[in-house]
Amino acid sequence: MNESFPRLTNRFRIPYAYEVCFGRDAFATGNPLLADEVAQVFANNLPVPTVAFLDDGLAVAQPGLAARISAYAAARAGVFALRGAPVVLPGGEAAKDGMGVCLHAVEAMRQAGICRQSCVLAIGGGAFQDTVGLAAALFHRGVRVVRLPSTVLSQNDSGVGVKNGVNLDGVKNLLGTFAPPALVVNDLGLLATVSDRDWVAGTAEAFKVALIRDADFAAWLAAHAAAIPRREDATMAELVVRCAALHVQHIAGGNDPFEHGSARPLDFGHWAAHKLESLSGFALRHGEAVAVGIALDLCHAARLGFIEPAEAARFIAALHRAGLPVWSDWLLAETNGKRVVLAGIEEFREHLGGTLHITFPCPVGSKREIEELTDEDVQTAIGDLDRHRRNLEIVP
C-alpha cells in the first residue's frame, strides 16, 4: 500500500517596528511626547484602556511620581483611559525572584479589565521591566507594553530590547519570552534619583557594546570615563543615546532578534558575569559583574592576539576611572580545589543551546567569536587581571 500524504508549509512574516524616544520629564502635564507616541501606536483604540505599573524603588525615590502619572493621564484623557492608580510592585532583582511578582502583575491586569487591545505602562528599572513584560506577554497571550525605563542600564540596554524573563532556582532568566515592546520612552529625568552605584553600574553595557561594535564610542568612553562618577548630566545623556542606538542597530540588523542561533554577540563579558552574579547572591549588580567580566575577557583577548596588551590595559583602566569594578574576589572562590567561576563556561554553553560562542573584541570596535575556552585559559586571564588591578592599586 503506497499512500502519499501532503506536506503543508505555513510560512509568514510579521513586520515589526517600535520607536525608541528620548526626552525629559515625560509625565509633566505640558509634555506631549508620551501621549503623542502612544496615540500613534494605539490609533485605532483611543482612549486606550491603560494600567500603569510602577517600580517601588522608583516610587520611594520620587514620591510624587504616582500622582504625576495619574494627573498626566487625566490631562490626556483622549489618549489614556487609566484603570485606577498606578500599581506599585517590587523592583530590583527581588522582582525577578521566581514568578511571584509576575503573577501579581497578571492579577492586577485582570482586576483592571485589561484586554489585548489595552496598554501596559511599565515604569521602572530593568528587572522590573523584565518581570512586568513577562506578565504582559502571558496575559491574554500578549498585551502591548510601553516601557519607561528608569535606570541607566535599562535605558541604554535591556529596556530597548525584546527580552523579558525571571530567575528560577538561582538560574538567571530561566523563564522568559521574546516580546518586543510597543514603544520605549527613555525619560532622562527619571535618572536623577538613581543611586550613585546604579548610575555607574549601568554604564558597563556601554563599554561592552562599544568595544565590539564602535571604536569611536569606545574611545569616547575612555576619554569621558572620569565624568561618569561625577554624574555629569550631558555625558550620561550622550552615553545613553549612543549605547541604546547600538543595541537597536544590533537587534534590527543582526538577523536574529529572537536568538534562534547559538551566538549571542552582545554578551561580551557575560559568561563570567552571570556566574559572578549568582556566586555573590546577586550582591553584585549586573553591570558590576559585567564590568569584571569585560576586564577578564580583555585580558584573554590580549593573550589571543586579538587586541594589543596596551589596549586591554587602557580599557581596564577606563572601566576603573568610570567607577566600575574590574575585580571580584569571587574569581578566586574554590570548591574542592577548583575555581567555581569556571563552571560559568559550561553554564553559558547550556544557555547558548549547547555550542559555545564567546565574543571578544578583534580589534577594538569589531568582534570575533571563539568556540573553546579552557579552564587553563581562564586561570591565566585571572592572573593577568590580578596584575592589572594591582597596578591600579585595587587591592583587598
Q: How much of the chain, in percent, has pLDDT values that exceed 70?
A: 94
CATH hierarchy code of domain 19-193: 3.40.50.1970
The whole-number pLDDT of residue 151 equals 96
Please check whether residue 201 is in contact with residue 158, taking contact to mean a CB–CB distance below 8 angstroms. Answer: no
DSSP code per residue over 311-363: HHHHHHHHHHHTT-----GGGG-EETTEEGGGHHHHHHHHHTTSS--EEEESS
Q: Which residues partner with 175 through β-bridges?
A: 166
Enumerate the domain spans of the chain.
Answer: 19-193, 197-229+242-390
Q: Which three cell numbers stand for residue 119?
A: 496598554
Residue 265 to residue 290: CA distance in whole angstroms: 14
Each residue's pLDDT tens digit, 93-132: 889 999 999 999 999 999 999 999 999 999 999 999 999 9
Across the range 176-203, mean pLDDT stands at 95
Each residue's pLDDT tens digit, 155-174: 998 889 889 999 888 777 88
68 band by pLDDT with thresholds 50, 70 and 90: very high
Pairing of strands 48-55, 119-124: parallel
Element (H, E) at 168: strand 163-168
Residue 45 to residue 308: CA distance in whole angstroms: 56
371 band by pLDDT with thresholds 50, 70 and 90: confident
Each residue's pLDDT tens digit, 309-357: 999 999 999 999 999 999 999 998 888 878 888 887 777 766 666 677 8
Element (H, E) at 227: none
CATH hierarchy code of domain 197-229+242-390: 1.20.1090.10
Please check whether residue 289 is in contact with residue 169, taking contact to mean a CB–CB distance below 8 angstroms. Answer: no
The whole-number pLDDT of residue 138 equals 97
Across the range 353-365, mean pLDDT stands at 85
Whether pLDDT at 83 is above 70:
yes
DSSP state for residue 97 in the 8-state scheme: B
